[in-house]
Structure 1
Amino acid sequence: MDDFIAARAQMALSLGFHIIFSCVGMVMPFLMAFAHWKYLKTNNEVYKGLTKAWSKGVAILFATGAVSGTMLSFELGLLWPGFMKHAGPIFGMPFSLEGTAFFIEAIAIGFFLYGWERFNKWFHWFCGFLVGVSGLASGILVVAANSWMNSPTGFDYINGQYLNIDPIKAMFNDAWFPQALHMTVAAFCATGFAVAGVHAFMIMRKRNIEFHTKAFRIAVGFALIGAFGAPLSGDVAAKSVAERQPIKLAAMEAHFETEKGASFIIGGIPDEEKEEVKYAVKIPKVLSFLVSNDFNAEVKGLKDFPRDEWPPIAVVHYAFQIMIFFGVVMIGIGVIYLYSFFFRKEWLSKNWLLKTFLIATPFGYIALEAGWTVTEVGRQPWIIYGIMRTVDAVTPMPGIQYSFYFFTAIFISLSMILIFLLRRQIQMVPKLYDPTDPQFNDKNKKS
């Protein structure tokens, strides 16, 4: 493994690991705050126990996310000094603001965890809600920095110099809103399905059914908001990509020939040498409509761009197909659940429906990882689209492969610790938060 590939692999591993914690940090506090709100409105102790259980999960994932996020910030400077030298002054503002949001989140979660019976009940609730708001802000600000890499603006590039820098314009670049919207919606979908799957499993095991049923229904509500919102936000993002990065769009669809009335491709195996897609299902004119609301609009193909600017077509195309597939599956599950809720309530307690959500536990995060693969790999060979190539930004320091091995070991260790802690927390839920236990109230006060 050469140093360039090792540096890219290390960033891919770090981002793929950290994005899960980012999404949990953006969404899980809102589930916690909603359960807390239900407790304050109904005085139902089950919701209080649910709030406390979820808050401990939020704390565990927040701590792990802080570690992985800190590692990422160091990696940007250590692995890509050429990039940071020029880009740092331009898009440093969203990173600095993200640090502020992170500090607010840390303070708010501390207040929330230790504020039971100490604060005014609505101020206490606000602290939990603030954890979600600051976590959401952190995610959006990081996406703003990433979107700048896909749509660089806020400076003049003259004779290799970055002049007339405008950090505000750089932060609110053309790609910022579409990426931030789609990322936020995907985070709600992924986290909602993951939490719903865990509680569905506990219901199937007949563990504290009332507790886990309430948790399951709250999580499903958030999951469906994300699942049904994803096609809308995805449409906004796709139109933005078509306008700013037509070569990425062409790679997503393995679209080689420029044509009017372009077909939308489902599946298929791209052949870059023959410049064709084999075994694909083509839906005539749909791609043209999706990118411009015109069935006969022209869509540029890969052949219109220099070959050395093509991203890895197969990787981008397969990742896009995976994202679409799991997104459609989750929408289908959402339709079944809504039909059950409104017309066949007896289905809600059926094992087959619970098992469906259990199987779907990782679907949102698989789609999320695939979507980020499309975003990042689809931008290659550029680290700053159209300005700086990735190979020109990597560190000249040798031995990066050993750093990759070391960080891989760290992330594997963190994963094992995290699984152990979350598994232990889930197993403790029936013991700590079972309202049928006569000692339930005493345990709640102590916790």
Structure 2
Amino acid sequence: MWERTGWLADASTEGDLSAARAQMGFSLAWHIVVACLGVGLPLLTLIAEWRGWRTGEPALRLLARRWARAMGVLFAVGAVSGTILSFEMGLLWPGLMGTYGQVLGLPFALEGIAFFIEAIFLGIYLYAWDRLPPRHHLLTGVPIVVAGVASAFFVVCANAWMNQPRGFDLRGGRVVSVDPWAAMFNPASPPQTVHMILAALMVASFLTASVYAVALLRGRDDRYHRAGFFIPFILGAIATPAQIVVGDWAARFVAEYQPAKLAAMEGVYRTSDHVPLTVGGIAGDGGLQYGVEIPNGLSLLIGYSPSTVVQGLEEVPRVQWPAVTTVHLAFDVMVVIGMFLLAMGAWLLWAGWRRRRSGAGDVLRMRGMRIFLRLAVLTGPAAVIALESGWVVTEMGRQPWVVQGLMTVRQAVNPAPGLANGLWLVLVVYAAMTVATVYVLRRLARERPVPIAPQESDVRDQPVA
């Protein structure tokens, strides 16, 4: 919902339409990072606690407790930003919610239930840390993980419906015969939900690992910081190849169900076979310019054959074209970062193999691993950029439609004047939330949540992340 839309609105309404898009886009871009941490951080916390319980290592238990406190802060912040988004759906887009609210209601209702389950068990998990046996306490964290994944699933199902609307009939411009289950489990739901959940795990894992990579580079080389790096980095490295496979599945789905979006993603203007894969480039009059072409690449990726026909943008009216340059470059950024994260995971796997073969005792002290740590610092921001780029492709690639083929963004926007005022208010609120969140997390990083036992002396005097 972010790109220029001068062909959709006249001068009298373009300002408010652009303000509504900017406000929604900024809110989503901010919230989605916190939401990903809400999905992935509980799993990381449980892994650390489980390993600490099984091995008896105090550093792992301390790590889990610190992550749990951060998890509570981020849950509260995510609840605020999510509430803002729910209000924005009704205030900014009454055309969408007024027409299709009864179709979209089920996934949002189920997401609310998942949210309350997560909140209840998060309270139990944080309060009962020293009040339950370790095994029982660990089990109270499982519903947090399940509910967090379920919340992401239900919300993305609603977005998938906007790409593949199902579960209703239109008669005389009115929605009838609503089947909310068919709407929620539309054809786009499987690839989009799996893609998003894996992305959430990657963002949470690599962001967390990047913090501890900085600490290791600064000489805080103890069991606490090593575990803080390896646990999330390994989880992210495992999720990355799975994400690449799912991303290929999602791209093939788009090729079949949303060919105009695929044409924008790859900058294909004319329908033909033997279509090259273009890396980089900007949209010109007859196609992408200044890009690097791989002969037959796109036809091979889509249909495993150079003769596969790829539909071009010429098949749809010019006013329905997405912003080709933005969508194409965002897609390229997402793919390049995915390859970078895959290479980083492969590097760590290769280093582990070398260590076992040579009998070396410490993988991080092997030759070249300091360069690896420097690059590992970049994996967290890179994963966030890939996440945001993916959502740019998803939303802008559907434009000008808010509901594919049925309702444009301009038809959905609130016609009342003054929406720009809300944009400035939202920017102020999110700036304050960002400063407050960073401040609280930094304070938590410097405080000790539990007394340190003598065997934890290796981490007692270290500033921690």
Same fold flag (TM > 0.5): yes
Q: Are the equivalent residues in 2 in contact too, given 1:434–1:440 (CA < 8 A)?
A: no
State the alpha-carbon separation in 2 of the partners of residues 130 and 202 from structure 1.
Answer: 31
State the alpha-carbon separation in 2 of the partners of residues 324 and 27 from structure 1.
Answer: 21
Which of residues 253, 269, 273 in structure 2 aligns to 1:260?
273
Question: Which residue of structure 2 lines up, in the alignment, with residue 376 of structure 1?
Answer: 395
Question: Is 2:349 the counterpart of 1:338?
Answer: yes
Q: What is the 5 A alignment of 1:245-324? A: 245-271=258-284, 274-324=285-335
Question: Is 2:2 the counterpart of 1:2?
Answer: no
1:123-165 CA-partner distances (Å, limit 9, x unpaired): 2111112211101110111000000000000011233121111
Which of residues 247, 255, 260 in structure 2 aligns to 1:234?
247
Q: CA deviation at 1:440?
A: 8.7
Q: Are the equivalent residues in 2 in contact too, given 1:208–1:434 (CA < 8 A)?
A: no
Q: CA deviation at 1:430?
A: 11
State the alpha-carbon separation in 1 of the partners of residues 311 and 198 from structure 2.
Answer: 28
State the alpha-carbon separation in 1 of the partners of residues 37 and 339 from structure 2.
Answer: 22
Question: Is 2:398 the counterpart of 1:401?
Answer: no
Output the TM-score relative to the length of structure 2: 0.91
Question: Which residue of structure 2 lines up, in the alignment, with residue 81 of structure 1?
Answer: 94
State the alpha-carbon separation in 2 of the partners of residues 267 and 434 from structure 1.
Answer: 55
Aligned alpha-carbon RMSD (Å): 1.9
State the alpha-carbon separation in 2 of the partners of residues 118 and 236 from structure 1.
Answer: 46
Q: CA deviation at 1:224?
A: 0.5
SS of the aligned residue for 2:197 comes to helix
SS of the aligned residue for 1:265 comes to strand
Q: Are the equivalent residues in 2 in contact too, given 1:207–1:430 (CA < 8 A)?
A: no
Relative distance call for 1:224 and 1:434 in structure 2 (3 A) is: farther
Q: Are the equivalent residues in 2 in contact too, given 1:24–1:187 (CA < 8 A)?
A: yes
Relative distance call for 1:326 and 1:434 in structure 2 (3 A) is: farther
State the alpha-carbon separation in 1 of the partners of residues 187 and 149 from structure 2.
Answer: 20
Question: Which residue of structure 2 lines up, in the alignment, with residue 134 of structure 1?
Answer: 147
SS of the aligned residue for 1:420 comes to helix
Q: Are the equivalent residues in 1 in contact too, given 2:170–2:176 (CA < 8 A)?
A: yes
Structure 1's unaligned 5+ residue stretches are 442-447
Q: Which amino acid aligns with 2:75?
A: F
Q: CA deviation at 1:351?
A: 2.3
Question: Is 2:433 the counterpart of 1:417?
Answer: no
Q: CA deviation at 1:270?
A: 1.6
Question: Is 2:386 the counterpart of 1:367?
Answer: yes
SS of the aligned residue for 1:361 comes to helix
Question: Which residue of structure 1 lines up, in the alignment, with residue 370 of structure 2?
Answer: 351
1:259-293 CA-partner distances (Å, limit 9, x unpaired): 1121111111221xx12111211112221232233
Q: CA deviation at 1:322?
A: 1.0
Identical-residue share of aligned pairs (%): 39
Q: Are the equivalent residues in 1 in contact too, given 2:234–2:345 (CA < 8 A)?
A: no
Question: Which residue of structure 2 lines up, in the alignment, with residue 445 of structure 1?
Answer: none
Q: Which amino acid aligns with 1:218?
A: I
Q: CA deviation at 1:173?
A: 0.3
Q: Are the equivalent residues in 2 in contact too, given 1:188–1:223 (CA < 8 A)?
A: yes
Q: Are the equivalent residues in 2 in contact too, given 1:178–1:233 (CA < 8 A)?
A: yes
Which of residues 44, 49, 57 in structure 2 aligns to 1:36?
49
Q: CA deviation at 1:353?
A: 1.8
Question: Is 2:338 the counterpart of 1:327?
Answer: yes
1:387-437 CA-partner distances (Å, limit 9, x unpaired): 001100111211000100000110111111111122222333699768655
Relative distance call for 1:435 and 1:177 in structure 2 (3 A) is: farther
Question: Which residue of structure 1 lines up, in the alignment, with residue 6 of structure 2?
Answer: none
Q: Are the equivalent residues in 2 in contact too, given 1:45–1:435 (CA < 8 A)?
A: no
Relative distance call for 1:114 and 1:288 in structure 2 (3 A) is: same
State the alpha-carbon separation in 2 of the partners of residues 109 and 47 from structure 1.
Answer: 20
Q: Are the equivalent residues in 2 in contact too, given 1:432–1:440 (CA < 8 A)?
A: no
Q: How many residues align?
A: 439
Relative distance call for 1:174 and 1:166 in structure 2 (3 A) is: same
SS of the aligned residue for 1:380 comes to coil
Which of residues 99, 116, 128 in structure 2 aligns to 1:115?
128
Q: Which moved more, 1:70-79 or 1:35-44?
A: 35-44
Q: Which moved more, 1:338-347 or 1:49-58?
A: 338-347
Relative distance call for 1:278 and 1:164 in structure 2 (3 A) is: same
Which of residues 17, 23, 26 in structure 1 aligns to 2:36?
23
SS of the aligned residue for 1:162 comes to strand
Structure 2's unaligned 5+ residue stretches are 1-13, 461-465
State the alpha-carbon separation in 1 of the partners of residues 315 and 453 from structure 2.
Answer: 63
Output the TM-score relative to the length of structure 1: 0.94
State the alpha-carbon separation in 1 of the partners of residues 242 and 109 from structure 2.
Answer: 30
Q: Are the equivalent residues in 2 in contact too, given 1:208–1:430 (CA < 8 A)?
A: no
SS of the aligned residue for 2:165 comes to coil
State the alpha-carbon separation in 2 of the partners of residues 352 and 431 from structure 1.
Answer: 34
Question: Which residue of structure 2 lines up, in the alignment, with residue 178 of structure 1?
Answer: 191
Question: Is 2:218 the counterpart of 1:205?
Answer: yes
Q: Which amino acid aligns with 1:219?
A: P
Q: Once superposed, which parts of structure 1, at least 4 consecutive aligned residues long, lie more than 4 Å away?
A: 429-441
SS of the aligned residue for 1:157 comes to strand
Q: Which amino acid aligns with 1:337?
A: L
SS of the aligned residue for 1:185 comes to helix
Relative distance call for 1:275 and 1:377 in structure 2 (3 A) is: same
Q: CA deviation at 1:121?
A: 2.5
SS of the aligned residue for 1:282 comes to strand
Q: What is the 5 A alignment of 1:146-161? A: 146-161=159-174
Question: Which residue of structure 1 lines up, in the alignment, with residue 8 of structure 2?
Answer: none
Relative distance call for 1:392 and 1:14 in structure 2 (3 A) is: same
Q: Which moved more, 1:335-344 or 1:306-315?
A: 335-344
